[in-house]
Amino acid sequence: MMRPMKLAGSELMFGEGSLEYIKTSVRCKKAFIVIGGHAVERNGSLDRVEEYFHDGGAETFVFKGVEPDPHFSTVSRGAQSMLEQKPDLICALGGGSVMDAAKTMWVMYEHPELKELDQILHTKPLPKLRTKARFMCIPTTSGTASEVSRSVVITDDEKGRKHGLGDMEMMPDIAICDPDVTKSMPQHVTAETGMDALTHAVEALVSNRANYVADILATAAAVDIVTWLPKAYANGDDIQAREMMCDASMTAGLAFTNVSLGIDHSMAQTIGGFFPIAHGRICAILLPYTIEWNSRDEWAKKRYADLADKMGATDLAQLVRDLNTQLEIPNTVKDAGIDEEAYLNNLQEMAETSLHDGCTKTNPVIPTVPEFADLLKKAYYGA
């Protein structure tokens, strides 16, 4: 089935100093700024963003407190605040969790009749947005690419499980990828979000929806991430490395939001719903195992080999393992500290959940439930 591509929203800004675009070109009366913790306040990013809005003649309102793996209760509070404030622009300033939460708040602000998470998840296609506000993202990490994606992941409050939703209607209108905003990322966040971006690129390249344009984007992103992520990890003040990671993360996002992902994300999202582990960290741990499993497909195997060759290597899975070691990311789920008994007790349910995850259907080979269980065990103990 042929699918139209959408490469970001109407305005995509990137490069050092691009944050000033708010002052010169973003027109609104009231900006509703969504943030997570205090990091963007401590490093001055929030002050700069508010100042640029004020210079452009806009009011600002700040909604604080989006947690990692945002819960629907937080999203509901934010949507209610939007209904009270009536902004004409929503600005997500933060990492993937902040951007995902703000996107979902936006949906509920535009359509207050959608009050429950199940309603939003099962309303397909989503109703039209932008009747009340446009949506802007300013990523503070280089990994999730939510600033150019159609997807969100929200956690339900009852079971603590993660739920994904994708719809092109949720593509942000404006994305500003300024590396200066990412400089204060802690070292472990640099590593984990960077590996999430690499996983996006690698999975897009072997998606069964892969196409000429997405291949170009995914390949360029993957090669640049392998080159520049270790440098950004070693020195967070290296503005060239930060800028290359911003651009590569965004480029990987342009690829995967059009052709989707694969079983690495199916399992990572599932494991993350059962156990407290950073999304990028579990993606990185799983990636060598999914590369090896998918290599039973000759087309995927050749694509992995071609990509490895462009990176000066012969074995892509081993390259990823070596990169994980360099970034101080463990190579097994067990070494990540997840309890063995709890993991094995949930193995069957995790295998079933992984099969039904939306990313599985675009993997080059679809595992069965027993095959998912076997792969989850291999990733836990190491093969």
321-338 pLDDT, tens digit per residue, is: 999 999 999 999 999 999
| Number of domains within the chain | 2
- Residue 6 falls inside a structural domain: no
| Non-local CB neighbours of 153 within 8 Å, separated by 6+ positions | 69, 96, 100, 162, 163, 164, 269, 279
* Domain C-terminal end among 160, 181, 202: 181
- Residue 22 falls inside a structural domain: yes
Where residue 2 falls among pLDDT bands split at 50, 70, 90?
low
pLDDT digits (tens, 9 = 90+) for 284-309: 999 999 999 999 999 999 999 999 99
Does the model's pTM come out above 0.85? yes
* Domain C-terminal end among 148, 165, 181: 181
Q: What is the pLDDT of residue 48?
A: 96
Mean pLDDT of 328-353: 97
Are 152 and 189 part of one and the same domain? no
Where residue 371 falls among pLDDT bands split at 50, 70, 90?
very high
186 vs 356: CA distance, rounded Å: 34
* Domain C-terminal end among 181, 209, 230: 181
- Residue 140 falls inside a structural domain: yes
Are 136 and 42 part of one and the same domain? yes
Instruction: Give the closest residue to 232 by CA, choosing from 213, 210, 220, 249.
Output: 249
The backbone torsions φ and ψ at residue 98, rounded to the nearest 5 degrees and listed phi first, read -65, -45
For 177, the 3-state DSSP assignment is strand
Beta strand 134-139 pairing with 89-94: parallel
Are 177 and 189 part of one and the same domain? no
Q: What is the pLDDT of residue 1?
A: 54
Q: What is the pLDDT of residue 8?
A: 81
30, with CB counted inside 10 A (0-12, 13-18, 19+), is middle
344 vs 340: CA distance, rounded Å: 6
- Residue 101 falls inside a structural domain: yes
CATH of residue 310's domain is 1.20.1090.10
Maximum average pLDDT range among 7-11, 67-71, 82-86, 181-185: 82-86
Q: What is the pLDDT of residue 344?
A: 97
Instruction: Give the closest residue to 111 by CA, choosing from 275, 119, 26, 324.
Output: 119
In the block, tokens 């012969």 appear at 314
Give Cα separations from 226 to 51, 221, 313, 374 (angstroms): 36, 9, 11, 29
Q: What is the pLDDT of residue 106?
A: 97
Mean pLDDT of 219-240: 97
Are 337 and 297 part of one and the same domain? yes
- Residue 308 falls inside a structural domain: yes
325 vs 356: CA distance, rounded Å: 31
By residue range, what is the domain housing residue 217? 185-381
Where residue 265 falls among pLDDT bands split at 50, 70, 90?
very high
Q: How many CB atoms are located within 10 Å of the residue 195 CB?
A: 27
pLDDT digits (tens, 9 = 90+) for 30-85: 999 999 988 999 999 999 999 999 999 999 999 999 999 899 999 999 999 999 99
- Percent of the chain residues topping a pLDDT of 90: 89
Q: How many CA atoms lie less than 13 Å away from 276 in the CB half-sphere?
A: 3
Reading the block at residue 304, the tokens are 């992995």
Mean pLDDT of 261-268: 97
- Residue 1 falls inside a structural domain: no
Instruction: Give the closest residue to 304 by CA, choosing from 205, 383, 200.
Output: 205
Are 159 and 130 part of one and the same domain? yes
Maximum separation of any 2 CA atoms in the chain, in Å: 59
Q: What is the pLDDT of residue 224?
A: 98
Are 160 and 189 part of one and the same domain? no
Are 270 and 130 part of one and the same domain? no
- Residue 368 falls inside a structural domain: yes
Are 120 and 195 part of one and the same domain? no
CATH of residue 67's domain is 3.40.50.1970
Reading the block at residue 4, the tokens are 């139209």
